């Protein structure tokens, strides 16, 4: 035997290890997005954007409504210097919060319509290419 062959090290990976290596490699290799994946991603982006905006408005409204409830039901208003008018201020702030929570659905609907109108040409072009 040659000296090089004696010192050489050879190892073969099992099928499970090879599969894991290939899955890791796929994460880092550049991939091209196919048309169907792009169509799905564009469609999902509409509802994701609308949902995030509606949730933001709804959470802000809930926090404002909670602040109004705190003003109306506790003595925080007197600590803030509102005196006996804290109940009225709390009710007004709470109603503003309720209005924002109620507006969250409208924000969702408007955002979906606006986003669909904006990406409609691309969606229609991709879907036409896929159907032919």
Region of residue 12 (phi > 0: left; psi between -120 and 50: alpha; otherwise: beta)? beta
Q: What is the pLDDT along the chain (132 residues), one digit of tens a residue?
A: 555 666 776 666 677 888 888 888 888 877 666 788 888 888 899 999 999 999 999 999 999 999 999 888 888 777 777 777 788 888 999 999 999 999 999 999 999 999 999 998 888 888 888 887
pLDDT value of residue 18: 83
Spatial neighbors of 52 by CB under 8 A, at least 6 apart, are: none
First to last CA, the chain: 63
Tokens 């290596």 belong to: 21
Any idea how long the chain is?
132
pLDDT value of residue 115: 93
H helices of 1-132, in order, are: 3-7, 15-28, 35-73, 76-79, 86-131
| CA gap 52, 72 in Å, rounded | 30
| CA gap 62, 56 in Å, rounded | 10
Q: Read off the pLDDT of residues 1-32 as tens digits, 9 standing for 90 and up.
A: 555 666 776 666 677 888 888 888 888 877 66
Asked whether the whole model's pTM tops 0.75, one would answer: no
């Amino acid at each position: 035997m040659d000296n090089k062959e004696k010192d050489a090290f050879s190892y073969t990976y099992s099928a499970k290890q090879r599969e894991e290596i290939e899955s890791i490699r796929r994460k880092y290799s550049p991939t091209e997005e196919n048309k169907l994946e792009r169509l799905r991603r564009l469609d999902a982006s509409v509802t994701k954007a609308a949902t995030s905006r509606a949730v933001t408005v709804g959470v802000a409204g809930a926090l404002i409504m909670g602040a109004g409830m705190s003003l109306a039901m506790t003595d925080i208003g007197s600590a803030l210097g509102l005196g006996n008018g804290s109940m009225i201020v709390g009710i007004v702030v709470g109603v503003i919060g309720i209005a924002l929570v109620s507006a969250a659905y409208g924000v969702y609907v408007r955002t979906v319509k606006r986003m669909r109108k904006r990406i409609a040409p691309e969606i229609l072009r991709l879907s036409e290419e896929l159907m032919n």
